[in-house]
């Protein structure tokens, strides 16, 4: 029980810091109320200030407007893709991005040297949730299931229509008086 209490205390003192792999995420500011979180497949807009570990700023979106991207699409550095997951609109985080989740061995000359660890102060300012029909296996299931369901309904309708028409067709009348002799 002592170990559990110590672990609980340690996690409470470090509640605002999360680590995914080697990406370090420090929550700077979080809104009191947050009902919608960003996730994979969502389109987000963030403001960021990018700096070297020395503190020298190399880029900022503040003068250009929010940087928008679809989370998990791989069209931005992996540190951004991972760092925005679970954010609320108005939340601010400090991401410490190691080289393999940033610009790697090539860097981004002339402002980012090869194998640079970078810091990004980010704020989520826009969030467009992904449609359930366009994300993950849930969307794949529905995109397959709905047409199959509609096909089943159409077959059922045509079958019963054919049965009804067959029952209403005129049949040859039976001879009166029973059997023929």
Active-site residue, 120 included: yes
Options 49, 59, 89, 142, the catalytic residue: 59
Options 49, 58, 89, 142, the catalytic residue: 58
Active-site residue, 58 included: yes
Instruction: Report the Cα–Cα distance between both ends of the chain, in Å, rounded.
Output: 100
Instruction: Please count the residues of the chain.
Output: 181
Options 48, 67, 69, 80, the catalytic residue: 48
Options 42, 80, 120, 122, the catalytic residue: 120
CA 44/CA 89 separation, integer angstroms = 9
Active-site residue, 28 included: no
Active-site residue, 138 included: no
CA 84/CA 14 separation, integer angstroms = 19
CA dist list (Å): 131 to 41, 81, 166: 8, 18, 45
Options 25, 77, 112, 122, the catalytic residue: 77
- Which sequence positions are flagged as catalytic? 48, 58-59, 77, 103, 120
């Amino acid at each position: 029980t002592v170990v559990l209490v110590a672990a609980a205390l340690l996690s409470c003192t470090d509640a605002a810091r999360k680590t995914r792999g080697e990406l370090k995420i420090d929550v700077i500011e979080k809104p009191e109320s947050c009902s919608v979180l960003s996730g994979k497949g969502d389109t987000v807009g963030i403001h960021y200030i990018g700096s070297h570990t020395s503190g020298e700023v190399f880029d900022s979106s503040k003068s250009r407007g929010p940087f928008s991207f679809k989370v998990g699409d791989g069209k931005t550095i992996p540190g951004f893709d991972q760092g925005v997951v679970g954010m609320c609109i108005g939340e601010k985080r400090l991401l410490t991005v190691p080289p393999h989740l940033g610009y790697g061995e090539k860097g981004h000359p002339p402002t980012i040297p090869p194998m640079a660890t970078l810091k990004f102060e980010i704020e989520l300012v826009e969030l467009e949730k992904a449609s359930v029909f366009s994300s993950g296996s849930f969307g794949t299931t529905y995109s397959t299931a709905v047409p199959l369901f509609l096909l089943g309904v159409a077959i059922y309708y045509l079958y019963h229509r054919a049965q009804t028409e067959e029952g209403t067709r005129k049949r040859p009348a039976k001879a009166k008086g029973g059997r023929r002799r």
